[in-house]
Structure 1
Amino acid sequence: MTHERGSVTAETAVALPALVVVLAASLWVVAVVGAHLECVDAARAGARAAARGEAPEAVRSAVVRAAPGGARVVVSPGAELTRVDVSVAVQPRWGLMLPAVEVRASAVSATEPGVFR
C-alpha cells in the first residue's frame, strides 16, 4: 500500500509540469486570438469610417483606439477602395524570452462617390 502512494506522488510530480505548460500555451493562444480579433475589428471600423469620408486623423485615431496597444495602423484611401491595415506584435507577459507573434488584419471598403480628395 505504501508503494502505491509513492507512485501516485511520482506520477503527479511528472504530470504537473506538463499541465502547467499546456495551460500556459493555451493562455498564449487565447491572447493571440484576442489580439487578432481586436485588429480585425479596428481595421473594419477604420475602413468604414474612411470610406464615408471622415478626416484621415479621425480615422487613424478611431483605429488606434480600437486596436491593441502598440498597433501599427496604415490607412490607404483611394478613388474606388479604402484599405486599412492593422498589425501588432504580441508577446507573452510570462515568457519575455519567447519571440513575439505578429498579428495582422486588413479591411477594404468601397469608397463612397465624391469622397476621395
Structure 2
Amino acid sequence: MPRKVRDVLRAGPRERGSVTAETAVALPALVLVLAAVLWAVTVVDARLRCVDAARAGARAAARGEALNAVRETVLRSAPAGSRVVVVPGPEVTRVDVSVSVRPLWKSAAPSIEVTASAVSATEIGVFP
C-alpha cells in the first residue's frame, strides 16, 4: 500500500473532520463567486438583448415605419423596463435602448445601466 494512502487511513482523531472544516470555510467564497458569475451573465444577456432590439428598431425606422411601430418592434425584443429613443433623420436613423439591470436576489448590489445604440441609413423617399 502506498505510504500516503496508509497515512490517511491511520489518521488520528485530531485530523478527522478537517475536510469538513475546510469545506465550511471555502463554501461561502464559492457561493460568492457563483453569485458574481450569475450577475455577470445577467448583465451580458441584457446587453445582447438591447443590441438586438436597437438594430431591429433602426432597420424598421429606416424603412419608414411609424414611430409607434418602431417602438413596439424594439420593446418586443428588449428586456422588460427598457427605455427607447428613436431619432429619424434624412440620412440616418438612430435608435437608443437602455435598461437598468438589478440583481435577481435582494441585495445591496447597485443596478447597472446597460445601453445600446444602432444607426441605419434612411432609405430614399422615406424622410420628407
Assess same fold via TM > 0.5.
Answer: yes
Alignment coverage as a number of residue pairs: 117
Structure number with greater Rg is 2
Q: Does 1:110 align with 2:83?
A: no
Rounded to whole Å, the distance in 2 between the matches of 1:76 and 1:5 is 69
User: Structure 1 regions of 5+ residues with no counterpart?
Assistant: none
Cα RMSD (Å): 0.9
Pairwise mapping of residues 5-44 of structure 1 onto structure 2 (< 5 A)?
5-44=16-55
- Give the C-alpha shift of residue 14 in structure 1: 0.6
User: Structure 2 regions of 5+ residues with no counterpart?
Assistant: 1-10
- Give the C-alpha shift of residue 17 in structure 1: 0.3
Deviation string 1:5-34 (CA, Å, 9 cap, x unpaired) is 222111101100000001000000000000
The percentage of aligned residue pairs carrying the same residue is: 72
Rounded to whole Å, the distance in 2 between the matches of 1:95 and 1:109 is 39
Rounded to whole Å, the distance in 2 between the matches of 1:68 and 1:4 is 52
Q: SS of the counterpart of 1:39?
A: helix
Q: Does 1:81 align with 2:87?
A: no
Rounded to whole Å, the distance in 2 between the matches of 1:18 and 1:5 is 23
With the length of structure 1 as denominator, give the TM-score of the two structures. 0.96
Rounded to whole Å, the distance in 2 between the matches of 1:31 and 1:5 is 41
- Give the C-alpha shift of residue 100 in structure 1: 0.2
